[in-house]
Chain A
Amino acid sequence: MNKGLAALCERRLLIVTGKGGTGKTTVAAALGLLTAREGIDTVVIELGETAVLPRLLSDDPIALEADGGREPVPLAPHLFTLRIVPEVALIEYLELQLHIRRIVGVVIRNQGFRRLLDAAPGWRALITLGKLWYLQSRMERGRPRWPLLIVDGPSTGHGISFLSVPNVVLETVRLGPLRRHTDRVQVLLKDPARTLVLPVTLAEELPVNETFELCARIRELGMALGPVIANAVEPAPDLPDLEPVLAEIGQLALSSSDSAILDPGLIRKCAENRLRRSSLQHGFLEDLARGCSQDVLQLPYQVQAIEGPGSLAPLAEQLEAALTARATK
């Protein structure tokens, strides 16, 4: 296994986050493909209102149906997925705390309790983090049952408040099980040997700026950052020395249909656009590397839309290559 990937595999919880539209979900899924291929039981976890990951990670129609339960759903060898639904996680938590299902039912159905849930901010984030802690604490035959959790996290703004909820609870609650449990969650989040935050960004202005802010806030929270992933980078075009080639092309005797395409003016415009875009992106990547003081991995722009495991596989390969390059740097 390459060292860059191994460094991620040694962790227990990888939280992928970043500005909306940067490709967090596909990056989390691609990473899951890689770690599962290394034989590590990986759960790729999503938190949204509808399940996206099963379709990205599996073609199996049966796997696509399981959603929003308590246990990770197997999709492929060593690869699992789970969509954490706060309401489901809350019932599970109460059952673990109160031991008697009937009492949990009474609490959950209680009007007052339901209204409290409607009004109280932050409990969804807290119970979700609690579920992550619980999953990583499960043991089987003396070993962690879920050695690696990869979370397709909320986007930056929400992600920061998501990760700071334990702080708020610890500030307000002094005693009791909630305090103890939140403490454990906090210890997990702040343990650089177990938890890393992986920001995903684009080689564009706003995503880069937001990444600076994200990195600063994550450090303030006392959490460790992994490499920053710059997604959808247009590779510098591998072009021959243009002018002599274009001069040659201008002199070729080509059929009229060929010469409509192999037109020096067209080729020059096309190439110049590509080169300019690539140098523009390059500038943003330099800003990024300077401004966030983290390693930056680059993933190339995918011409093909990523819609399932077939189209996800190339991205996974490229992610692996980027991790290798980072480790040998």
Chain B
Amino acid sequence: MNTTPWLKRRILVTVGTGGVGKTTVSAAMGLEAARRGRRVLVLTIDPARRLADALGIKLDHKPRSIPRKVLSAAGLELRGTLHAMMLDTKQTFDELVERYSTDREALERILANPIYQNLTDALAGSREYSAMEKLHQLHSTGDYDLIVVDTPPSGHALEFLDAPRRLTAFLQSDLLKVLFRPALAMGRTGFRLFRFGSATVLRVVEKITGLGFLTAISDFLLAFESMLDGFTARARETEVLLRDPACGFVLVVGPDPGQARRAEDFWARLQREEIHLLGLVVNRVRTWPVSGPVPELGDARIMGLTERLGKELAKRDPPFDGENAARSLVGMLAQQASLARRDARTCARLEQSLSLTPEAVRRIPLFSEDVHAVEGLQRMASHLFAEEEDA
């Protein structure tokens, strides 16, 4: 485990399953780094409108600067700068296609292809690929000291690391050369797909799909083939960048026991990737509202407390429904205590099972205020970086 402070990296990548608050955690990390004097860009994939509103910007495909007056209104002075942008997969792909297509005709052919137009999202790893592509692009400009990347949520680990590999693997030029030939050369559907198989198989498949579908797929793949060298080179560079020590990964998880299990699995896979894992953010941890240990409130204790409190309250003058009041108050405390204990157990379990130092497991309590206001992000950051020196 690398102990360099998180905020000293050039790139911070947050990963995790959906719905754990990656985007907000990314924003809080970016805000804190900017407060400490760095030029920061937060690259998100979520339509975080409320966050954008709170920061006084329009979140779109261009880096937007967070106006200082929004921050100073919240009592925050940045020594550095803060930009944010939202990734648009289709647009990133269009840019890529434009950059790497070898000729005008190939460019127009792919942009007009119905499969490209509609299924860019469905293409294996395309969202992840474009996130990494954008990161690479922005990193090379040198405009930022730190880029925080909020990756697409993935059920399995590392789709974004696999994406360049997967995409280029299926665009492998020798494979495609075997499979497809330009339509003119074939005179028919353009298929060399079954060069090694029997012509019968092609006839059989065509009988079901009709000619149009196979042609569209063949056009789509052929158009990509012309760009393959560009794509592959770029994918290789991105991989190098992601494995550089200047790039750190942070896994964001929720505190539920089920999430902990997934986090362990996710972590194990991350470890195999030879990337720099900085640690874990456990978000929305339920806490006990006062300091000290969380009391153990078993059923018997809850019943006893409710009964005693109810009796006492019923004695008061003027009388009121002490029993009900006691039940709801003790019930509320008991629920809070049980959730706080459960979440503390989950955090301890993760620390142990992943052999992490306490410093590498950073807990953010569940806030009862809107975390998307600047103050909320600041509070979040203060929990994240309490131990990290402001140098």
Q: Are B305 and A164 in contact (CB under 8 A)?
A: no
A62 contacts the other chain (CB 8 A): no
Shortest C-beta distance, B37 to chain A (Å), equals 29
Q: Are B207 and A177 in contact (CB under 8 A)?
A: yes
- Which one of B98-106, B234-242, B325-333, B377-385 is at the interface? B325-333
* Known contacts A239-B329, A265-B290, A206 near B123 by CB under 8 Å: no
Interface residues of A in 178-211 (CB under 8 A from B): 178-179, 202, 205-207, 209-210
Q: How many A residues, CB 8 Å from partner?
A: 81
- Which one of A9-17, A36-44, A69-77, A114-122 is at the interface? A114-122
Shortest C-beta distance, A160 to chain B (Å), equals 7
Interface residues of B in 193-243 (CB under 8 A from A): 193-198, 200-202, 204-205, 207-213, 216-217, 220-221
Chain A residues within 8 Å of B175, by CB: 115, 119
Residue of B nearest to A237 (CB): B332
Instruction: Kindly name the residue among A22, A112, A167 whose own CB sees the greatest number of chain B CB atoms within 10 A.
Output: A112
Residue of B nearest to A267 (CB): B329
Q: Are A113 and B201 in contact (CB under 8 A)?
A: yes
Q: Are B47 and A210 in contact (CB under 8 A)?
A: yes
Chain B residues within 8 Å of A177, by CB: 207-208, 210
Q: Are B114 and A269 in contact (CB under 8 A)?
A: no
Q: Are B17 and A121 in contact (CB under 8 A)?
A: no
* Known contacts A122-B115, A260-B295, A213 near B47 by CB under 8 Å: yes
Distance A121 CA – B338 CA, assembled complex (angstroms) = 47
- Which one of A27-35, A145-153, A245-253, A321-329 is at the interface? A245-253
Q: Are A174 and B114 in contact (CB under 8 A)?
A: no
Interface residues of B in 13-41 (CB under 8 A from A): 17-20, 23
Mostly, the B contact residues are helix
Distance A274 CA – B335 CA, assembled complex (angstroms) = 11
A271 contacts the other chain (CB 8 A): yes
A256 contacts the other chain (CB 8 A): no
* Known contacts A171-B114, A267-B333, A21 near B153 by CB under 8 Å: yes
Interface residues of B in 333-370 (CB under 8 A from A): 333, 335-336, 338-339, 366, 368-370
* Known contacts A97-B208, A112-B193, A115-B193, A21 near B295 by CB under 8 Å: no
Shortest C-beta distance, B90 to chain A (Å), equals 11
B184 contacts the other chain (CB 8 A): no
A220 contacts the other chain (CB 8 A): no
Q: Are A178 and B193 in contact (CB under 8 A)?
A: no
Q: How many of chain B's residues touch chain A, expressed as a range? A: 35 or more
Q: Are A112 and B213 in contact (CB under 8 A)?
A: no
Residue of A nearest to B217 (CB): A120
B256 contacts the other chain (CB 8 A): yes
Q: Are A206 and B23 in contact (CB under 8 A)?
A: yes
B391 contacts the other chain (CB 8 A): no
Q: Are A245 and B153 in contact (CB under 8 A)?
A: no
Distance A160 CA – B156 CA, assembled complex (angstroms) = 20
Shortest C-beta distance, B21 to chain A (Å), equals 8
Q: Are A261 and B194 in contact (CB under 8 A)?
A: no
B127 contacts the other chain (CB 8 A): yes
Shortest C-beta distance, A232 to chain B (Å), equals 10
B313 contacts the other chain (CB 8 A): yes
Q: Are B328 and A157 in contact (CB under 8 A)?
A: no
A5 contacts the other chain (CB 8 A): no
- Identify B208's interface contact among A176, A254, A273, A277, CB under 8 A: A176
Q: Are B197 and A238 in contact (CB under 8 A)?
A: no
Shortest C-beta distance, A170 to chain B (Å), equals 10
* Known contacts A20-B155, A202-B19, A121 near B324 by CB under 8 Å: no
0/1 string, A83-109, CB within 8 A of B gives 1: 000000000001001100001001100
Chain A residues within 8 Å of B328, by CB: 237-240
Shortest C-beta distance, A119 to chain B (Å), equals 5
Chain A residues within 8 Å of B62, by CB: none
Distance A92 CA – B188 CA, assembled complex (angstroms) = 29
Chain B residues within 8 Å of A277, by CB: 366, 368
- Identify A176's interface contact among B153, B210, B332, CB under 8 A: B210
Extra A-B contacts (6), CB below 8 Å, given A21-B18, A262-B309: A94-B208, A116-B193, A176-B209, A205-B51, A240-B324, A267-B332
Nearest 7 pairs between A and B by C-beta?
A20-B18, A21-B19, A176-B210, A276-B368, A269-B289, A21-B18, A240-B325
Please list 17 pairs of residues, one from A and one from B, whose beta carbons are closer than 8 Å in the complex, sorted by A's number: A19-B18, A106-B200, A110-B201, A111-B196, A112-B201, A113-B205, A115-B178, A118-B170, A155-B18, A168-B118, A176-B210, A209-B49, A244-B320, A258-B309, A265-B290, A277-B366, A303-B339
